[in-house]
Amino acid sequence: MATILQTVSLKEARFYAPIGYYEEEQVLGNEFFVSIDVCFPFLNTETENLKNTLNYEELYQITASVMQPKRKLLESAASEILDQIRLRVADAVTIEVVIRKSNPPFGGDLSCSQVSLKYFKD
């Protein structure tokens, strides 16, 4: 039997947050871009009803709350976002969270660094 999967995404949501390994980064903050993909079975018989899908505004609200507090590593933010989505979307087949940090402050010439976590339901 075939299954139709639906993906709801949030792409490149921009945040200015106090996240970084160095104390200066936690004081000054930095620019981050967060992308999320949540894939789940498409069982939406009423395609015009928001209750039958995942509201991407909810993904944004989760992300905004996680990106506010000071923390050292992007991995902890990505893990918290992933965990909150897993709790709210029980039928998720895959979830991917990508956090991109603009201008990491280590003296090299590069545009960004990035961390991603991907969940696969067994």
pLDDT tens, position by position, 49-104: 777 788 999 999 999 999 999 999 999 999 999 999 999 999 999 999 999 998 77
Averaged pLDDT for residues 96-118:
87
Range of the structural domain that residue 33 is part of: 5-120
User: Does 107 have pLDDT greater than 80?
Assistant: no
Domain total in the chain:
1
Work out the number of other CB atoms within 10 angstroms of the CB of residue 9: 13
pLDDT tens, position by position, 5-26: 999 999 999 999 999 998 988 9
Output the CA–CA distances (angstroms, integers) from residue 6 to 23, 46, 69, 96, 97, in the order listed.
41, 14, 32, 14, 16
73 neighbors 92 (Cβ within 8 angstroms)? no
5 neighbors 40 (Cβ within 8 angstroms)? yes
pLDDT of residue 87: 96
8 neighbors 58 (Cβ within 8 angstroms)? no
pLDDT of residue 3: 84
Collapsing DSSP to helix, strand or coil, 36 comes out as: strand
Report the CATH number that the domain containing residue 86 is assigned in CATH. Answer: 3.30.1130.10
In the structure, what pLDDT confidence band is assigned to residue 2 with cuts at 50, 70 and 90?
confident
